[in-house]
Amino acid sequence: MATEGTLGDFEHDIAPEPLRNAVWHVLSDRGGRGVGKSWMREVQAQCVRHFGWPNEGVFSFHVREGESVEEFLDLLEIAVEAGQKRYRWSPPVRTSTSPRPTQIQGFPELEDELNLLFDRHRFGYRMKNGEVQRIGSPMLNETVVVPALLAVQRPGWEEVERAYREAVAHQRGGEDKRDDALTSANAAVEAALKAAGFQGDRLSSLAKSLRNSELVPSELKGVPEALDVLLKRQEALRSNHGDAHGKAPGSPIVPQALADLAVHWAGAFIVYLAEMSTS
């Protein structure tokens, strides 16, 4: 149930037509009135520049009928980002007592509304701070990814946050980005071990430093060794499937499940390190 819920599998490969229609209704409803007109012009202009479309008029087509999930997600990120900007607004009918034209924020609530649509249509992505995250399970997203990103928001952990955000972004970036997800997850774990005070320049030496530490309570006998094994397996995944040392032509495509495993395991371990290093 953690993977499928009670309503069936999540969809990653296509954006269903009902979802596209629902999203278009939300966007067009906002874009047709008040400050929304300025917001919609900004969204369309950004899409033309980002995708190289011939004109703004094809925006509705790409929302409702485009074939690429990646394009659909990119244009929603653009819409949410534009919704955070401020636009000039004045009352439709001016009187002597009307407020002067002012700057107001577009649609800061748009991200939450899109996430509700994703849930309703079993679309396996979520938006967080304007960025799309691929999920295989709401439980994993809520208990691993989100806590990991919160745990690293502290001085000295900036590189951990950067690398893990990259891993999450590559995780949803299509089959040609999955090897990058492995590499970034590996880099995030290395950075977390260094931020937690362990010594070494790569996972093998950092794992040894962890194994010889007192980070894990003595009552949990064997846990440091088990973590050492997991760290070495993580490094092996990156070496065999990632592109850290260059990817040979014809190399096998990294399975999505393997990219998911690396990102979620890395996130869980980052949370563990962050909590233990401050206890």
134-191 pLDDT, tens digit per residue, is 776 666 777 788 888 888 888 999 999 999 988 888 877 667 788 888 888 888 988 9
C-alpha–C-alpha distance, residues 106 and 88, integer Å: 10
Yes or no: say if 12 and 19 are a contact pair by the CB < 8 Å rule.
Answer: no
167's CB contacts (< 8 A; 6+ apart) are 181, 184, 185, 187, 188, 262, 263, 266
27, two tokens: 């966007």
Q: Are 22 and 121 in contact (CB under 8 A)?
A: yes
| Cα–Cα distance measured from residue 267 to residue 227, given in angstroms and rounded to the nearest whole number | 14
Secondary structure letter of residue 3 according to DSSP: T
- Name 14's bridge partners: none
Segments in the chain forming alpha helices (H): 17-31, 36-51, 59-65, 69-83, 110-120, 138-140, 146-151, 158-171, 178-195, 203-211, 223-241, 256-278
Please list the ranges in the chain whose pLDDT falls under 50: 1-7, 245
* pLDDT value at residue 171: 78
* Per-domain boundaries in the chain: 17-120, 137-278
> Residue 264: left if φ>0, alpha if ψ -120 to 50, beta else—which one?
alpha
Alpha-carbon span 18 to 24, nearest angstrom: 10
Q: Is the pTM of this model over 0.75?
A: no
Q: What is the pLDDT of residue 159?
A: 93
User: Could you give the CA distance from residue 107 to residue 232 in angstroms, rounded to a whole number?
Assistant: 46
Q: What is the pLDDT of residue 227?
A: 62
**pLDDT tens for residues 73-93?**
999 999 999 998 888 776 666
